[in-house]
Structure 1
């Protein structure tokens, strides 16, 4: 299952204002913000990885998932509601409500991702994790170092996301290995581009669009969604390629 919430979350993001630039002009503020974002992201990914390992390797967990498939839909519901609450209701700046919603969202997403791996070969899941890690680390380093401002392409990426979603709906009615390969490859590519853009929005500097220092929860969730979607699409791609 894919959680393609990036576009709507970023549609209203942040043209930098004078106060925001003044806040980030202090190097310590910027570094504190970045540490918060990646600290939260590390915890989220650790929790999700624990669920993926459990759903992939444990026969008991697999059996439980098969017997209780309704939990997937409950998790999707909690994930969607908590994300909307954080992104659209201003809760991401309100302590401790932001941490509570963040915890609910992370656990719900972890369960959802766990269900997506339960019937996959463990070796394929491992390869997907490794490939995703390489992509994320490489693109993060690139986004930190490059002088090109990719945040100006936010609108174009949102349009591409809408097209990808329509492509996904089309696949419900038209099945085929080639179509799935194209869809998975495009999905991984799109969210890789989103990862670069969102990383630059966190780094700040002279980029046109950026997060404000108070939006560390929202920034962490945005990166988390990028990484999770890259993993899901890479996993789909490897799964299709493994079937003759």
Structure 2
């Protein structure tokens, strides 16, 4: 009876933890969507980005720096600071996405977002409920991600359409699989790493950031297929 009660209590804690992860992830997505919409319709922001001579690269560099800082310093900063930095990152990413959206029709962006949400939801639920150990996907995904990055850099110089589509297909497959893998990993992280409310919040923020990145990258790769140019 006691073991059953402890299992139920652990299950409830884990459920509350995952709800927090998804809540912060979706909050960040809403921030990104709002900032993207505003940026794409703001002549001031568009002129600022394109008149600088650097385009969106300063924003991309700042985003990489924030992700690295949050991930590497999570044990040294408070959960509130981590959450604020996460939301700041999502806002910066919103500016980047808004500039990218200028190239596509609104209808194709909404359609692609819907497809992404469905695919992400299915794979995340699978990662939550499956009893199969998905850790092998992590090793394969890491090597695939390195390959995609290298191929993308090479294709800047080659400008190969065939390689572009190979990278696109690989990206969709990669982040579809990573969604399930990361969900299962985050589900396990709470019991291993979270010893109190503060550390639990930090783990939840890292989890939200991870799933947010999976969603955004899956969306961008799917946009290559379903996006319609203006």
TM range (shorter): 0.7 to 0.9
* Partner Cα distance (1:211, 1:170) in 2: 40
Shift of 1:200: 0.7
* Partner Cα distance (2:90, 2:212) in 1: 9
Alignment of 1:88-167 (within 5 A): 88-91=72-75, 94-167=78-151
Q: Identify, as 1 or 2, the structure richer in helix.
A: 2
Please, which of 52, 65, 84 is the counterpart of residue 81 of structure 1?
A: 65
Matched position secondary structure for 1:171: helix
1:33 has 2:21 as partner:
no
> Deviations for 1:51-71, whole angstroms, at most 9, x for unmatched residues?
333345x37477445445646
Which structure has the larger Rg?
2
* Partner Cα distance (1:36, 1:95) in 2: 13
Alignment of 1:196-215 (within 5 A): 196-204=180-188, 212-213=193-194, 214=200, 215=203
1:223 has 2:211 as partner:
yes
Question: Residues 173, 77 of structure 1: CA spacing in aligned structure 2 closer, same or farther, 3 A cutoff?
Answer: closer
TM-score, normalised via structure 2 length: 0.81
Contact 2:25–2:212 under 8 Å retained in 1: yes
Instruction: Give aligned pairs, total.
Output: 216
CA RMSD of aligned residues (A): 2.9
Which sections of structure 2, spanning at least 5 residues, go unmatched?
Answer: 1-5, 195-199
TM-score, normalised via structure 1 length: 0.77
Which sections of structure 1, spanning at least 5 residues, go unmatched?
Answer: 1-21
Shift of 1:127: 2.2
